[in-house]
Amino acid sequence: MAQGKKLKSAYEKIDRMAQYSLDDAINMIKDSASSKFDETIEISMNLGVDPRHSDQMVRGVVSLPHGTGKTMRVAVFARDAKADEAKAAGADVIGAEDLAEEIQNGRLDFDRVIATPDMMGVVGRLGKILGTKGLMPNPKLGTVTPNVADAVAEAKAGQVQFRAEKAGIVHAGIGKASFAADQLRENAAAFIDAISKSRPTGAKGVFIRKINVSSTMGPGVTVDPAQAS
């Protein structure tokens, strides 16, 4: 399919063989985001790992200083007082066995699932459903916790989960085209820093091999890892 005129024009302004500083890349992406809707700004990183090996898995969470610009819908498995805490913190869906039954019947209208430890017996039966969607609560990600109010607040504030895919690539949305350039830069820097600190013990050689930023409908711009902070 032929490129649209706007996208073709945007590509003409970018040297696709060059590596740019993070500041320059963000400015170029913002300039190219000319759709009628507020495009998502995304970052992807190619890492020197093979996630098929347990000692090379990269996974974690990072709170972006300016959020993602996306409204997060949060589901919480909790009972009694913990359910009340989740509701007060702004959780969108709260339940126990009743919520599990809704999920088994196809309900998946949320972006994050949080559970108190005592609810994992119920949640564990949903592994095949939630796991394939990347929604399974995990203590390492802070989504299995007795502090459900904090977990809900962090999710709503723009906390991002990341996980290396088969090719060693991690990616995330870091804001919207309507964000100021410095907000996007700070969000991108926070994400890159979190990935850097998540280097697994089995990673050998160069860890961060390539960084790319793009908008939903725009071209990708390669960032020089040495100028990515």
Residue type, 121: G
> Going from the N-terminus, what domains does the chain have, and what CATH number goes with each?
15-68+159-227 (3.30.190.20), 74-156 (3.40.50.790)
Closest CA to 111 of 133, 128, 129, 126: 133
Give the pLDDT band (50/70/90) at residue 1.
very low
> CA 204 to CA 198: how far, in whole Å?
13
Token pair 């592994």: residue: 127
Closest CA to 213 of 26, 38, 37: 26
Span 101-123, pLDDT tens digits: 999 999 999 999 999 999 999 99
**Predicted structure pTM score:** 0.84
Span 218-229, pLDDT tens digits: 889 999 998 886
- For range 78-83, the mean pLDDT: 97
Choose the weakest-confidence range: 4-8, 46-50, 81-85: 4-8
Q: Is 74 in contact with 93 (CB distance < 8 Å)?
A: yes
Per-residue pLDDT at 41: 96
Choose the weakest-confidence range: 4-18, 38-52, 195-209: 4-18
- For range 191-207, the mean pLDDT: 95
Closest CA to 114 of 101, 132, 85: 85
Span 139-185, pLDDT tens digits: 989 999 999 999 999 999 989 999 999 899 999 999 999 999 999 99
Q: Helix, strand, coil: what percent of the chain each, to 5?
A: 40, 20, 40
- For range 53-72, the mean pLDDT: 93
Per-residue pLDDT at 95: 97
